[in-house]
Amino acid sequence: MLNSRLDRLTDYPFQRLAALLGGPAKPGDVVMSIGEPQHAPPPFVKEVLAEHAALWGKYPPVAGTPAFRAAVIGWLERRFALPAGIVDADRHVLPVAGTREALYMIAQVACDAEAAERPAVLLPNPFYQVYAGAAVMAGAEPVFVAGRAEDGFLPDFETVPEAVLRRTALAYLCTPANPQGSVAGLDRLTRAVALARRHGFLLAVDECYSEIFDGAAPAGALQACAALGAGVDNVVVFHSLSKRSSVPGLRSGFVAGDERVVSAFARLRAYGGAATPLPVLAAATRLWADETHVEANRALYRAKLDAAEAVLAGRFGFYRPPGGFFLWLDVGDGEAAAVKLATEAGIRVLPGAYLAREADDGINPGAPFIRVALVHDLETTAAALRRLAGTL
């Protein structure tokens, strides 16, 4: 009666953490295990939602509104210095109900379960768990490509054997990376796009953390497409307002890229996707057009990195992540550290092993690490980091 592929899914990381710690967080615990931004969203979000409250009574179109798509194209062109026309509001953009759903569903667009050979899906290791679940449920083989610390923790898909590349249908790349905060430069992105085109697979680039960065703004995959020419073939990028604008509950993002893929994705979403409500689209349109709140948000995260560096510099392999808001700390045994921090310090962090799979050598590359999300206000974060360092 049930789909047998479900048996190949591991428990989601936060379910595993609850089992490890004997249940959910207790009152007073500082939850630093989940990347749920706690910064206040811009006040105008509430105002725009109220202004468009009458539209809650209408079914929203899958393609969103022209104003939303135009705002997204304008932001992409400004943010990534794209030449006008490389992406078009009516052909290359689709709103999505948060990028988790979209990252999951894109595998059903790219993977042909009836192909002569079982399709392969490349993904980094460690990785965002949705990538693996998407590959499994699409009938594909997940192929985990490790990123070494000396290589910035980024996977190099060019090292994948030719026989695997020939049947690769999809490759997931996250930059800035979750959990390590690594950023793929334009050269690496350009090589990844060229590889996808050479072997005819789809490169799905998760850029949800692109607006939270410590130094220079990270490059984007559409920039790499512009550098190579030939439009945006074989590439889609995913962006969300959850991290950029501190509105995870708004569930609003977009996918942009290859026209053939976006068109097919729209067809699939007409059957199984959750269309974004019109009031949410109105708020999202305003958010993509405003950078002031993003700059303030970014400054808060930089201040928390300063606090982390003051406490952790020279300890637990600490480094300032170029992007995102996670610390990836080498504590020797991530599970043991998570238990100790929860029981002795009232801090919940995520064991790195829950974000990775064992490699061919039987070693889980995330096992020595914990992921710490710097999502609370500065005072709470700084106090929690002092307790974390003292406890460990």
Tens of each residue's pLDDT in the chain, 392 residues: 898 898 888 889 999 999 999 999 999 999 999 999 999 999 999 999 999 999 999 999 999 999 999 999 999 999 999 999 999 999 999 999 999 999 999 999 999 988 999 999 999 999 999 999 999 999 999 999 998 777 788 999 999 999 999 999 999 999 999 999 999 999 999 999 999 999 999 999 999 999 999 999 999 999 999 999 889 999 999 999 999 999 999 999 999 999 999 999 999 999 988 899 999 999 999 999 999 999 999 999 999 999 999 999 999 999 999 999 999 999 999 999 999 999 999 999 999 999 999 988 888 999 999 999 999 999 999 999 999 999 99
Q: How far apart are CA 364 and CA 367, in angstroms?
A: 5
Q: Give the DSSP letter string of 340-370.
A: HHHHHH-EE-EEGGGG----TTS--TTTTEE
Same domain, 70 and 90: yes
* pLDDT for position 260: 98
Same domain, 213 and 250: yes
Contact yes or no for 254/94 (Cβ under 8 A): yes
Same domain, 212 and 351: no
Same domain, 16 and 165: no
**E strands present in the chain:** 30-31, 93-96, 120-125, 141-146, 168-174, 202-206, 235-240, 253-257, 326-330, 347-348, 350-351, 369-373
* pLDDT for position 7: 87
Number of domains in the chain: 2
Same domain, 265 and 120: yes
Residue that terminates a domain, selected from 267, 288, 309: 288
Same domain, 349 and 380: yes
CATH of the domain at 379: 3.90.1150.10
* pLDDT for position 179: 96
**E strands present in 101-232:** 120-125, 141-146, 168-174, 202-206
Give the residue numbers spanning the domain of 347: 4-40+293-391
CATH of the domain at 71: 3.40.640.10
Same domain, 326 and 249: no
* pLDDT for position 151: 75
**E strands present in 241-330:** 253-257, 326-330
Helix (H, G, I), strand (E, B) or coil at 106: helix
Helix (H, G, I), strand (E, B) or coil at 328: strand
Helix extents (H) in 204-257: 221-228, 241-244
Rg (CA), the chain: 20
Same domain, 95 and 136: yes
* pLDDT for position 66: 98
Contact yes or no for 378/386 (Cβ under 8 A): no
Same domain, 373 and 300: yes
Distances (CA, A) of 31 to 176, 195, 338, 372: 22, 40, 11, 9
Q: How far apart are CA 246 and CA 36, in angstroms?
A: 8
Bridge partners of 171, per DSSP, are 122, 203
Bridge partners of 173, per DSSP, are 205
Residue that terminates a domain, selected from 288, 312, 340: 288
Residue that terminates a domain, selected from 260, 288, 316: 288
Strands 347-348 and 30-31: parallel
User: Given the structure tokens 């974000």, which residue do they identify?
Assistant: 355
Same domain, 306 and 257: no
Same domain, 12 and 102: no
Is the C-alpha dihedral spanning 336, 372, 100, 51 positive or negative?
Answer: positive
Same domain, 108 and 246: yes
